Amino acid sequence: MKQRKWLSVLLVLMLSVTWLSACSSNNNANTTENAQNKEGNKAANTTETKDADATAAEPAPEPVKQTLNVGIEAEPTSLNPYNSTDGNSTGVQGSMFEGLLKLDQNMKIQPSLAASYELSADAKSITFTLREGVTFHDGSKLTAQVVKDALDFVRNKDNQQARASFFSFIEDIKVTDDLHLTITSKDPNSAMAAYMTHSAGSIISPLELDKKKKDPNYNLDRTPVGTGPFKFAEWKDGQYVKVVPYDGYWDKEHTAKLESIVYKPVTEASTRVNMLKTGELDLVKNVPSLSAKELEGNADLDIAKTPSMDVYYVGANIKKKQYSKVEVRQAMNYAIDKDQLIAQVENGYGRIADSAIAPNVVGYSAQTPYAYDVEKAKELMKKAGFEKGFDATLWTRNETEFIAIAENVSIQLSKIGINAKVVPLESGTMFDKLDAGKELDMFIGRWSPGTGEADWGLRPNFHSTRIPPNYNNSNFYINKEVDKLLDEALATPDAAKAQEMYAKIQKIVYDDAAWTFLFEPESIIGKRKSVGNVVIIPNGYIDLNNAVKQ
């Protein structure tokens, strides 16, 4: 039964991607496929001339390159892939940066800056062969030494990069020649290839890193230089980030086909939707579910709904007396009617979260969800010594959907005496506060593993070595058995054995109510029908590198 469920999810994903890539214009007379076929081709018919002998075909005019306007939920916190942890930032960075490997729309690992790779039989090392002739946007060349220097930079804690811990598994990087390097892990690590697909594994120009090394005050967050098909043009605070084609891009078959991409932060969801309808925006990620049905009837738009890898949850600071009680955490899970939450906030576009990771993450194992049972929740609160409840503060991002979730959760928790005051925060401010690990009470979280597999779905949130400051386990959840299983699962090259351990971890975390598990939303993408070649990656990234606009 699980196999059939998995196959159905995959089919939905593949159909959604295909549909978006081959959409038509309003009158269906000029499809994206046709536009692709016309590029660079000659006209099929000869032109009329006064001279009957003039029968040579004239070349078709080149399509006019246009600007693609993309609506995002919030302004990026950074354009440095080593120093950002939010999806809005990585979504913008993806057009400018590349790593050694990448994930395709079916979550399969594919070569990128590396032409090939080989994982050792003991899962302790991975060897990469780089592509030849790759240059950065500033003209510097990609070499194995450049890759080593970049990875050494991000994992050096003295450089204070937010992603330093991501590469803590690395023991050594050895350069063989300009095109070959080997990464050795401290312990066997079966997820090394998946880790190198993450946005944190992007390679930054050596010239930029040299500037930072020479001047610690040099701001890499504002000067992105990578190898991607687009290069940085401009960042106007609060207005947009603009990227333009890089003429020296190494993959000549997949060069940028747009004049530019402009990423516009629009915090208010209804405003994003209206801008999409009027044509001020060409594409919007995370369309509010309440708007999806309305937009589906718009002849100018295409709407794609696919299962996402996101899990929404309530995090709570377990260092505090009330949340240190497992009964309180379980009571919070029983007190919230997730079906009602999904219906009211997501308009039905989602499912109850039955694990800390979503079904399309490799290694997922379903748990029995907490039933909605207020009376049981009250009994647990009484058992924990909090029969009268307590006051709480609930942080959330100042974005429409997050605020709606927080307000719904606050109302439902009040039924068991937990009076949670909703405090909206600018997303960058909230991430800074979570990273600092101070003042925290409760927060609305959304998690999706960029690697698409269970280790990175679970380790950042539940391993005791990942508590703040500067780490993701903002709950301060510590369970030695979970630590042991996570480390053992990562160390085994046997996928079946690793899966057994990941399943045990998910059961422990769920039974332990490490989070208040809410829901897994569908990913809803809206775009103008004039836009084609949009590729949805289930980890939440939208690949616009080969997008076209008619």
Name the residue type at position 474: S
Give the pLDDT confidence score for residue 3 in this predicted structure. Answer: 40
Burial of 4 (0-12, 13-18, 19+ CB in 10 A): exposed
DSSP assignment of 245-276 equals E-TT-S-GGG---SSEEEEEE---HHHHHHHH
Please, what is the angle between helix 289-296 and helix 269-278, to 10°? 20
Give the pLDDT confidence score for residue 23 in this predicted structure. Answer: 41
Contact 85, 93 (CB under 8 A): no
How far apart are the C-alpha atoms of 200 and 220, rounded to whole Å?
A: 14
- Residue 101 token pair: 């490997």
Q: Which segments in the chain show pLDDT lower than 50?
A: 1-55
DSSP secondary structure letter of residue 464: G
Give the pLDDT confidence score for residue 62 in this predicted structure. Answer: 61
Which helix (DSSP H) or strand (DSSP E) does residue 184 occupy? strand 180-185
Give the pLDDT confidence score for residue 269 in this predicted structure. Answer: 87
Q: What are phi and psi of 313, to 5 degrees?
A: -155, 165
For residue range 470-515, list pLDDT tens digits in order: 789 999 999 999 999 999 999 998 889 999 999 999 999 999 999 9
Interior angle at CA 354, CA 352 and CA 355, nearest 5: 130
Q: Using a cut of 0.95, tell me whether the model's pTM lies above it.
A: no
Interior angle at CA 86, CA 80 and CA 91, nearest 5: 70
Neighbours of 63 (CB within 10 A): 15
Name the residue type at position 5: K
Name the residue type at position 345: V
Helices (H), 298-337: 321-324, 326-335
Give the pLDDT confidence score for residue 518 in this predicted structure. Answer: 98
How far apart are the C-alpha atoms of 154 and 411, rounded to whole Å?
A: 42
How far apart are the C-alpha atoms of 436 and 443, rounded to whole Å?
A: 14
